[in-house]
Structure 1
Amino acid sequence: MSFSKRNINVTSRTVIFTLVAMLITLFIAPQFSAHAESYGAFYVEANLPENQYDPNVGYFDLMMEPNMKQTISFDVINQGDQPMRASINFQNGTTTLNAEKSYIHEETPDVSMKHPMTTMAVLRTQEVIIPANQRSTIAIDVTAPSVAFDGVSVGGFSVTADTIEIQADTSKKAKGEIQIESRTTYLIALQIRMNETKVEKNLNYIKSGAEVVDLKPQFVSTLQNDRAVVMNDISINGTVTPEGSDQPIARIQKQVGGILPNTQFPIAYPVQSQKLEPGTYVIDLEIKSGEEVWHWQEVHTVEPDTADAVNDGSVIAKQTNWMLVLVVGLLLIIVILLVIILYMRYRQQRERRNA
């Protein structure tokens, strides 16, 4: 076999090997990803005080008097066989997208909130190392306002647990370096009331708009709970319809939600076409909480500049089909390699004819 023919065979095998490797990378490799197993060998437990209003719940529900001061606590229990670091955060209760209660978002209190929980409760510690199979008690100092308020004020503690591994290297030990391996979080609420006066529920429609939510173009209604009352069992039914039409182009339906006291929150309606068009729309929204029902109809105009800005900020509206790009690139490489092989065979045949 001549050197030229051996070179052709080697080149062919190289091309085949390259193509197989590329196919494996393209279709198999993306299925694998690194994932750290969550550390779940801990839990939190509230030490309910004597002035607990509802003893049947696992969170703090305190009945307090004006100027009353007390210290409450909860335990973080490490059930695992390795030490863990617990980080504790405390925030006012907020209501997030589509009526979800939250105790982890730091937001400016709504103007209707007269007694934010963060003005009444103070954490004594925000971080603690807990050895394996032990517990640590987290203390909170609580001071009630000088004047009693109706309704409730709500906040929450988030406890984030990291497994820890002290570095073996002596110099790193001296620096106290800690390597975070995995993480999980528990929440525990704190609710304060000062009387049993019933507060009537109320919701206000603040404004309409269009923006990018969860990387998609969506219409948005901003609502406000301006009362110191928790609303449970929230259901939402809303549509957005072009003016003069009876076919909605965006919709929100939700059966279970919750709204915390004195908060503002957005209701988002995903655009079905995944692209926002300028024009005038009618927003129809109904929210129920128990026997209470609120219904609004709002007319909202989306200007061309707003539609362009929302669509440009949307990943869906402008996303690149990377799989298509990879396939086209792979085909282009195949074509180039085949052209090289055919050219080398043509040159080999010409050399034979001239020999």
Structure 2
Amino acid sequence: MIEKKNSVYNILGKIGLVLVLVFSLCYCSKNIYASSSNFNVNPVTPENQIDKSLGYFNLLMNPEAEQNLTFNLNNTTSKSITVDMSFSRSTTNDNGLAIYDSAGKTKDSSLQYNIEDYVEIPKKEITISAHSQVTVTAKIKMPQGANSGVLAGGFSFKEKKSKNQESTSKGVSITNEYRYVIALVIQQDTQKVSPQLKMNEAKATQVNSRNVFTANLQNMSPTYLQDMNAKATVKNVNNPELKYSFENSDMKMAPNSNFNFAIPVSIQGNMKDQTSKALEPGEYHLTMTVYGVKNTNGTYETTVDGKAVKYEYKWEFEKEFEIAEEKAQKLNQSDPTVHYKEPINWLMIIGIALILIILLLIFLIFSRKRNKDSHQ
């Protein structure tokens, strides 16, 4: 009896060990994110800083003036680290946010002076010894003709991952997601410049494999478009009841930049067993109202989250565009939220039916002829 109990316990113990190993393997295959940054960056504010309370550079410079900008980088760990330093002009991503990462972004057609051409960084990789500080100096220049508005970009600092950080012997992937971005805004005067907003192309496309309409919005002015609030509606011209609306009241556009404002057609994010209606081909009409720069004394008023808000600027746009049947089919087929059925090609079916009928008639005629010949 005791032996049987021991054998049962042994079996249970082995099963438990297997389960522990399985769960351990599953756990070790996950990413572990660092809980804090291993370094910090402090910009040294120069004398020509317009507002010394800001945590970034906002400088008043003369035409063709050159200047050095200083950063203090501190390693807070007991090991040597390497930090990647880069600089990018300010752009607007498709979420309507001004960012400092121009990778993959074509220069806007309205951009006359690219700040990336007027900033030099000493080196891309900076090594900092344990518990020590390194001072880094970048060089900037104000172009001669940029006499109105601002040029904007940002310095980025990110720890370079070592092989040990990327993967340990136990398969644990450690990812440090911390990146310091210090903005740089330079200008020759403090005169206010008004944003100039333009709508370009409107079309049907996809974002994250979901059907959307997009309207390309372009800020053609060398100034930020703050507090941007856009309301858009797309209607099918032949079926006005088929419409899609979307609003985003928390956006900001970089100077001389553009982005694609998306109006969702399909369900966004997690589907949760829901399905989206297929995008229909045809003619569509887009209307959009955009507000910018909140001001209690502003001329234009609208409602945001149930409250009246005043703005300094307002634009109204309209655009007609067409979705071809082939385009709609392609988008619907690649959208996982759409239970898409290939449309029935009645012309092909009728054509095949006619061919079969003709063949059947020919067969019957020849059959009768053979029967007559055989009886004769």
Q: Smaller-chain TM-score range?
A: 0.7 to 0.9
TM-score normalised by length of structure 2: 0.69
- Which residue of 37, 41, 48 corresponds with 2:38? 41
> Is 2:97 the partner of 1:103?
no
Change (3 A) 1:258 1:165: same
Please tell me whether the aligned partners of residues 164 and 181 of structure 1 are also in contact (alpha carbons under 8 angstroms): no
Q: Which stretches in structure 2 are left out of the alignment for 5+ residues?
A: 1-14, 166-171, 267-275, 294-311, 341-376
Kindly provide the amino acid, as one letter, of the partner of residue 204 in structure 1. K
- How many residue pairs were aligned? 287
> Is 2:275 the partner of 1:282?
no
Q: CA deviation at 1:64?
A: 0.7
Please tell me whether the aligned partners of residues 215 and 315 of structure 1 are also in contact (alpha carbons under 8 angstroms): yes
Please tell me whether the aligned partners of residues 286 and 293 of structure 1 are also in contact (alpha carbons under 8 angstroms): yes
Kindly provide the amino acid, as one letter, of the partner of residue 216 in structure 1. R
- Which residue of 177, 195, 198 corresponds with 2:192? 198
Please tell me whether the aligned partners of residues 223 and 255 of structure 2 are also in contact (alpha carbons under 8 angstroms): yes
Could you tell me which residue of structure 2 aligns to residue 133 of structure 1?
131
Change (3 A) 1:166 1:79: same
Q: Using the TM superposition, name which of 38-47 and 246-255 deviates more.
A: 246-255
The 5-angstrom pairing of residues 232-311 of structure 1 reads 232-247=226-241, 249-272=243-266, 273=276, 275-290=278-293, 291-311=312-332
Q: CA deviation at 1:278?
A: 0.9
Q: Please list the CA deviations of residues 14-58 of structure 1 after superposition, one character each: whole Å capped at 9, or x if unmatched.
A: xxx9xxx99xx9xxx989950222252322211111111121211
The 5-angstrom pairing of residues 121-200 of structure 1 reads 121-162=119-160, 164=162, 181-183=174-176, 184-200=178-194
Please tell me whether the aligned partners of residues 238 and 283 of structure 2 are also in contact (alpha carbons under 8 angstroms): no
- Which residue of 113, 133, 140 corresponds with 2:111? 113
> Is 2:51 the partner of 1:63?
no
Please tell me whether the aligned partners of residues 42 and 76 of structure 1 are also in contact (alpha carbons under 8 angstroms): yes
Q: CA deviation at 1:67?
A: 1.3
Please tell me whether the aligned partners of residues 97 and 266 of structure 1 are also in contact (alpha carbons under 8 angstroms): yes
Q: State the identity %.
A: 25
Please tell me whether the aligned partners of residues 31 and 173 of structure 2 are also in contact (alpha carbons under 8 angstroms): no
Kindly provide the amino acid, as one letter, of the partner of residue 132 in structure 1. A
Q: Please list the CA deviations of residues 266-318 of structure 1 after superposition, one character each: whole Å capped at 9, or x if unmatched.
A: 10111043632212222121211122111112222111121123234434447
Secondary structure of the residue aligned to 2:330 is: helix
Please tell me whether the aligned partners of residues 226 and 262 of structure 1 are also in contact (alpha carbons under 8 angstroms): yes
Q: Please list the CA deviations of residues 203-261 of structure 1 after superposition, one character each: whole Å capped at 9, or x if unmatched.
A: 00111011111221110000111100111111121122222545454332212111010
Looking at structure 2, the residues matched to 79 and 282 of structure 1 have their Cα atoms a distance apart, in angstroms, of 56
Kindly provide the amino acid, as one letter, of the partner of residue 44 in structure 2. N
Please tell me whether the aligned partners of residues 90 and 157 of structure 1 are also in contact (alpha carbons under 8 angstroms): yes
Secondary structure of the residue aligned to 2:155 is: strand
Change (3 A) 1:218 1:32: farther
Change (3 A) 1:293 1:314: same
Q: CA deviation at 1:163?
A: 5.4
Looking at structure 2, the residues matched to 47 and 121 of structure 1 have their Cα atoms a distance apart, in angstroms, of 17
Looking at structure 1, the residues matched to 321 and 26 of structure 2 have their Cα atoms a distance apart, in angstroms, of 43
Q: Which stretches in structure 1 are left out of the alignment for 5+ residues?
A: 1-16, 168-178, 320-355
Looking at structure 1, the residues matched to 339 and 228 of structure 2 have their Cα atoms a distance apart, in angstroms, of 34
- Which residue of 49, 70, 73 corresponds with 1:52? 49
Secondary structure of the residue aligned to 1:118 is: helix
- Which residue of 61, 69, 82 corresponds with 1:85? 82
Change (3 A) 1:313 1:139: farther
> Is 2:214 the partner of 1:220?
yes
C-alpha RMSD over aligned residues: 3.1
Q: Please list the CA deviations of residues 147-194 of structure 1 after superposition, one character each: whole Å capped at 9, or x if unmatched.
A: 342000101122111454779xxxxxxxxxxx9943221211111101
Please tell me whether the aligned partners of residues 86 and 127 of structure 1 are also in contact (alpha carbons under 8 angstroms): yes
